[in-house]
Structure 1
Amino acid sequence: MFRPLLKYDYDFMAARRVGRFGFKDSEISKLGGKLKAFNKKHKADKNNPDLSFCRLPYDRDSVKQISKLARRLRRKFKNLVVVGIGGSDLGAKAIYQALAGDFANLKSNRGKNLKVYFTGDTVDPEPMADLLKILNLKETVFYIVSKSGETIEPLSVFLYLRQKVIKKVGYKKHSDHFIITTNFEKGALFEITEKEEYLIAEHYAGGGRFSVLSVNGLLPAACAGFEISDLLAGARAMAKNAKRNNQWKNLPFFFASLQYLAYKKRKQSISVLMPYAYYLRNFAFWFRQLWGESLANEFNLKNKKVNLGLTPIAALGPTDQHSQIQLYNEGPHDKIITFIKVGSFLNNFKVPKYKDSAAIYLAGHKFKEILNIEQRATAVSLMKNKRPNGTIILPELNEYYLGQLFYFFEMAALYLGELLEIDVFNQPGVEQSKKYMYGLLGKEGYEKDKKEINNF
């Protein structure tokens, strides 16, 4: 069955619409000369672990293994709790919310599919206490994800949950309640996993923020009953598009080119993602990490100090029409906005008529129609104020188009890094704060960092 690609409407990004704040066709054509070289480089470097995310859409063997494991877990448990932070859980959260919504865990008719919960992204004790109040630990399996195996938040939460499960089911049975994804070489989590003989699924070779289509995102999705093969099929469709050497037809490259021109030519350093689909809220947070950690570097590939970076904003339409649009319309000309619009929803409701009321104009309009009108009105008002904005259009919100969307942004980040001449897989800026935390918590080898931070 033929399924089209998502679309990107860039009309309001163009100079013919927003004047000097928009792109010119000649600028795209000039950048297009680099596309073939980029694609050739990526193909030649295909065994680079950092680029292993490009191989994930084709990993059908993993789909079979993950599906088999998920079926086993669904027979034995009722709940899955993902314990992770950042790239270890943002993708899985985005998938679950997009496909299950916000209230799936309140339904009693989940069938054999597991209810999926998320923790480990904070050591604030209150959310943990609330989660434990609603979980039956005997019916719960915990999926611990940390590539390094040393990340403080999920490691702390894991150790606490392990103790709670042991008290509930006993030491001999507790290992059945834990599945670990980490590296196979080092780290506290790996050491504990080997000692306790927990089931381990190796973290894929690349970084966490590019891991959504690996076991990190696919196992929770499969446990929830989603078609993970469709997620990868959608990603493959976008991967095929990303192999094109035409700058106007390669959607991720074209999107990256507009972001690059906005940043380098017009000093538009803030990139706003604003879905007009309520259940894509967590997708916007996933995007925020991808953009924020991948596209900010002190040094470029020539080791020249550049301190460049695009600041990502996760917004939501129409909610943030009432909190941010004033800023976007009349504030500094330092932003580009990307909307996400969904063509078809599973449900649609009609506003009923209330006679003799000022609200009579709403009568008969369907919710989807109103949502689309709000998005269109916002886009046009921004354009009229010379604020560049584009719209990604998904035919519908399902596994296939979600897979396309994830891969679209991953490849766009890769292309944008190439254009900016930075390493999108390097993030040294997060390391120093970790060293200070290790020192203050008493980890061996970080005494110097403890002494340094205590001087402030």
Structure 2
Amino acid sequence: MTTNTIDWTGAWNGRLSKKDERRHDSRCGQLATHLYKEIDSNKLPFINLPYREELEKELLKHSPWLQSFEHMLLLGIGGSALGTRALQRAFYPEQDMPNHTGKHLWISDNVDAGTIEEWLTRLPAEKTVVVVISKSGGTIETIAQYFIAREWLKQHLGDTWADHIMLITDAQNGYLREEVNRLGARSMPVPDNLGGRYSVLSAVGLVPAAFLGINWKALLDGAMSVGNCLCERECGERTMQDHPAWKIASWAKTLMEEDYNILLFFTYIPAWASFGDWFAQLWAESLGKEGKGSTPLPAKGVTDQHSTQQLYLGGPRDKGCLYLTCPNQPEGMTFADDLPEKWSYLRGEKFGTLLQAETLGSRMAFGQTETPLVEIRVGETTETEAGRLIALLEIATVLTGWLLEINPLNQPHVELGKRLANARLGATGYDEESKQLEHFLGREPDIQEF
């Protein structure tokens, strides 16, 4: 059996020292109690997954229908898409390979008129299921895409078009729920108190996972194994202190206190690189409030050793690093025995040994520049381990938010941008935002050609 580990050897480099390891432990007991109360009142459902039984039943019911399609067009943005893309690239990489003839997942996560028009021109409607994801049922970018896709389905399928959609939204409220009731369309709920960036292990991420044949039960098993001990009433100060999510949160808070304002997420598992983008939203949207937080910056090994790592190692000393590795990755093809003498050390070696050498070399370089670094090492690149990683980072993010004394579950400034966009489009009920837009657009321009 493989083991997942966290290596703290380089965590306390630079302006940090080993004595900082327990800097925030005085708050541990209080936050352990708070955590249990929040879990018990169903405010943190991504930790104990109280919706799991119903989710599994619904996924099993819908799976034969999902499997009947060759293409899935997923309409969603932010947390409705980033986790799904990470799962697809990690566990269904064949979609991106030459001459792939299996299922295809197309994720429309932006306002990109050219791309969606091309997709709808090329996709066979009769072989395509459209999955629309919005917890509120009113996300303007997603709803606008739905209107376009709905018309496309009607044109190609006539009265049967609604048999090709699934709406994933709030169980009771919102426009998409109204559409479910009006059309009798298939749907699955986003559980209460489950924000988008924490929702990948719900229908949001697992419906497309089921479509692709990814082992979604293993994802759930892995996640629950990380959070289980925190869900017990007996979870106290000692349990919390020993939990890796607490240690990451305490370390991250200490980094911010010592002016390390950027947190690198350096992934040395190529197939898992998109988890960096998922983590960036999780961290930024949860913690960037009230002038607090740190900037998450995804990086991919080995690629970014030849681009941005120059800045990481030689630039301002304002970065800590979460370093994701796995010692058991594909070894790949063997180098031939007739390589030029200059590269004779590669003769007979596996191509994958290069990745392991680069992983070690980069980590040592961070150490030599005294960059605080925590290595998260997964034993295997399976769905179980991915579930464990997702849960670990979600819990650590929440605890970091509480240490910062902010709410890690809301996103007020995201909502501000949405309100201003709606006002610009002429939606009603945005009088104050309309005044702000009038002032903004009425400024004297200062424009230079280039």
CA deviations 1:209-261 (Å, max 9, x no partner) are 11111111111111111111111111111113556634663111111111111
Task: Give, in whole Å, the separation in 1 of the partners of 2:331 and 2:62.
Answer: 32
Map of 1:302 onto structure 2: none
Task: Give, in whole Å, the separation in 2 of the partners of 1:308 and 1:198.
Answer: 43
Identity %: 28
The letter of the residue matching 2:275 is F
Task: Give, in whole Å, the separation in 2 of the partners of 1:39 and 1:211.
Answer: 23
Indicate which of 324, 330, 334 corresponds to 1:350: 334
CA deviations 1:347-374 (Å, max 9, x no partner) are 5222224443533333233232211111
Task: Please list every run of 5 or more consecutive structure 2 residues that lacks an aligned counterpart in the other structure.
Answer: 441-450
Indicate which of 174, 177, 184 corresponds to 2:161: 174
CA deviations 1:379-424 (Å, max 9, x no partner) are 1111111111121111111110010010000000011112111110
Task: Give, in whole Å, the separation in 2 of the partners of 1:238 and 1:46.
Answer: 14
Deviation, structure 1 residue 8: 0.9
User: Which is further off, 36-45 or 389-398?
Assistant: 36-45
Indicate which of 37, 46, 57 corresponds to 1:53: 46
Task: Give, in whole Å, the separation in 2 of the partners of 1:361 and 1:22.
Answer: 39
8 Å Cα contact 1:317/1:375 also seen in 2: yes
Indicate which of 375, 386, 390 corresponds to 2:359: 375
**Count of aligned positions:** 434
Question: What SS is found at the alignment partner of 1:271?
Answer: strand
Map of 1:203 onto structure 2: 190
Map of 1:230 onto structure 2: 218
The letter of the residue matching 1:164 is W
Deviation, structure 1 residue 430: 1.5
Are 1:78 and 2:70 matched, yes or no?
yes
Task: Give, in whole Å, the separation in 2 of the partners of 1:13 and 1:405.
Answer: 19
Map of 1:304 onto structure 2: none
Task: Please list every run of 5 or more consecutive structure 1 residues that lacks an aligned counterpart in the other structure.
Answer: 299-306
Task: Give, in whole Å, the separation in 2 of the partners of 1:316 and 1:269.
Answer: 20
Map of 1:90 onto structure 2: 82
Map of 1:301 onto structure 2: none
8 Å Cα contact 1:175/1:196 also seen in 2: yes
Task: Give, in whole Å, the separation in 1 of the partners of 2:298 and 2:7.
Answer: 20
8 Å Cα contact 2:75/2:142 also seen in 1: yes
Indicate which of 330, 334, 343 corresponds to 2:314: 330
Map of 1:41 onto structure 2: 34
Indicate which of 292, 295, 304 corresponds to 1:320: 304
In angstroms, what is the RMSD of aligned CA positions?
2.1
Are 1:125 and 2:119 matched, yes or no?
no
Map of 1:11 onto structure 2: 9
Indicate which of 275, 279, 283 corresponds to 2:275: 283
Map of 2:397 onto structure 1: 413
Are 1:21 and 2:15 matched, yes or no?
yes
Task: Give, in whole Å, the separation in 2 of the partners of 1:323 and 1:280.
Answer: 19
Indicate which of 258, 270, 273 corresponds to 2:262: 270
8 Å Cα contact 1:6/1:404 also seen in 2: no
8 Å Cα contact 1:382/1:389 also seen in 2: yes
Are 1:194 and 2:181 matched, yes or no?
yes
8 Å Cα contact 1:242/1:411 also seen in 2: no
- TM-score using structure 1 length: 0.90
User: Which is further off, 312-321 or 426-435?
Assistant: 426-435
8 Å Cα contact 1:350/1:365 also seen in 2: yes
Task: Give, in whole Å, the separation in 2 of the partners of 1:364 and 1:242.
Answer: 48
User: Which is further off, 177-186 or 239-248?
Assistant: 239-248
Question: What SS is found at the alignment partner of 2:167?
Answer: strand
CA deviations 1:126-179 (Å, max 9, x no partner) are 221332344211001111000111112111111101100110010x20110110
8 Å Cα contact 1:242/1:253 also seen in 2: no
CA deviations 1:317-360 (Å, max 9, x no partner) are 11000111111111111100111112222452222244435333
- The structure-2 alpha-carbon separation of the partners of 1:208 and 1:392, relative to structure 1 and needing over 3 Å to count, comes to same
Task: Give, in whole Å, the separation in 2 of the partners of 1:204 and 1:55.
Answer: 12
- The structure-2 alpha-carbon separation of the partners of 1:58 and 1:207, relative to structure 1 and needing over 3 Å to count, comes to closer
8 Å Cα contact 1:83/1:145 also seen in 2: yes
Task: Give, in whole Å, the separation in 1 of the partners of 2:41 and 2:294.
Answer: 25
8 Å Cα contact 1:277/1:340 also seen in 2: yes
Question: What SS is found at the alignment partner of 2:296?
Answer: strand
The letter of the residue matching 1:256 is A
The letter of the residue matching 2:114 is E
Deviation, structure 1 residue 105: 7.2
The letter of the residue matching 1:201 is M
The letter of the residue matching 1:93 is R
Task: Give, in whole Å, the separation in 2 of the partners of 1:5 and 1:408.
Answer: 15
Deviation, structure 1 residue 68: 2.4
Are 1:31 and 2:24 matched, yes or no?
yes
Task: Give, in whole Å, the separation in 2 of the partners of 1:21 and 1:366.
Answer: 39
Query: How do 1:151-166 and structure 2 match up within 5 A?
Result: 151-166=139-154
